[in-house]
Amino acid sequence: MRDNNIAIKLSIPDEKAGMRLDQALSQLLSDYSRARIQQWIHDGNVLLDGKTCKPRDKVSGSEEVSIDVELEPEGQWLPQDIPLEIIYEDEDIIVVNKPIGLIVHPGAGVPDGTLVNALLHYDINLQKLPRAGIVHRLDKDTSGLLVIARSIRAHTSLIDQLQTKTMQREYAAIVNGELSSGGTVDASIGRHPKNRLKMAVVNGGKTAVTHYRIKEQFTKYTYVHCQLETGRTHQIRVHMAHIGHALLGDAVYGTKSDKLKQKLRRQALHAARLTLKHPGTGKAMTFESPLPKDIEEILELLRNDYS
C-alpha cells in the first residue's frame, strides 16, 4: 500500500505578510484547493510556529508551518475503462503517451471521458493525490508524453522539478512560415483581453519562456523542436503565433491562409521527449515518443512537394 500521508514543512515568505493563513498557503501549495487547506487547519493538521491556528489568522512572514495529514479522495471523478498507452511505470510514476483528442482533466462541460478517468480505472489509489497525480497537462489535440505521480513522494518531487525547471519537455511542431534560425521567445502569457477562451502575450501575464530550434526547412513551413522552460496554458501555440509562425492546423491561433490545415485537422504539436529525475532513486530518466502518423504524413508531403 502506498503512503498517502503528506508531511510538509515550510516558511511563510515575507511578501505574504498581512495575508490570511489559508490564502497564503493556497498560493504556496497551489496543487491543493483552498477549501481542502481550510479543512486541514480546522482539523488541527496545520501548525503555525508549533501551535494550532485558524484559517483567518494573519501571517507576518517568516513563520514556520508544518502540515501532517492523511489524504482523502480529492474529487468525485469516476473510473472509466479508457485505453492507456503506458510507456513506463513503477510505484512512484506512470508515463503515458496521450492520444490525440483525449482531454487530460475533467472540467466545465467535460465531466468524464478524460485521462484522469482512465487513470483512476487503472489505479484507484490515484484518487488520493491532487488532480489524480497529474502534474502537467497537454491540450486535447496535442499528443505525446505525460508523467503522473503515484505517491506523495513522487508528486512533491515532480512539482519541484517543474518549478525549478529541471524537468525537460521537448515538443515537435510544424509552423507556418520559413524560420531562418532557432531562438527563444520570452513573453508573458495571460488571458486574451477580448476573448476569455484564448491566451495571449500580455503585459502583467505569467512569465513564459520557449526555446525553439529548426529541424527541417520547407517552402512556407518549418519543422521545429520546442523546449519549455515554463508551462503556461497553450504556451507553444501562443508564442509561435506571437512571432508570426503559428502552428500548422491550429484552429485557435492559426491563420486562415494555412493551406495544409485541412490535411491535419489539429495543431501540429507532439510532446516527443521528457527528461526527469526519478523521485525515488534520483536517477535521470528520458522517455521518447515517436511522431504520430498524421504529423509524419504531413512531413512526408512537405519533403516531397515543399522542399
Backbone angles phi, psi at 181, to 5 degrees: -160, 165
- Residue 207 pLDDT grade (very low, low, confident, very high; cuts 50, 70, 90): very high
Find the catalytic residue in 22, 139, 141, 250: 139
Q: How many Å separate Cα 306 from the centre of its chain?
A: 34
Q: Of 302, 272, 305, which Cα lies nearest the Cα of 176?
A: 302
- Residue 72 pLDDT grade (very low, low, confident, very high; cuts 50, 70, 90): low
Q: Strand, helix or coil at 156?
A: helix
Find the mean pLDDT for residues 179-193: 96
Strands (DSSP E) found in the chain: 5-11, 46-48, 51-52, 64-70, 86-89, 93-98, 143-149, 168-176, 183-186, 189-191, 199-201, 209-218, 221-228, 269-277, 284-288
Q: Let me know if 112 is a catalytic residue.
A: no
How many CA atoms does the CB half-sphere of 282 hold within 13 Å?
0
Q: Residues 295-307: pLDDT tens digits? A: 999 999 999 988 7
Q: Residues 141-184: pLDDT tens digits? A: 999 999 999 988 898 889 889 888 999 999 999 999 999 999 99
Residue 1: pLDDT above 50? no
- Residue 31 pLDDT grade (very low, low, confident, very high; cuts 50, 70, 90): low
DSSP lists the bridge partners of residue 88 as 95
* pTM, 2 dp: 0.79
C-beta of residue 267 within 8 angstroms of C-beta of residue 249: yes
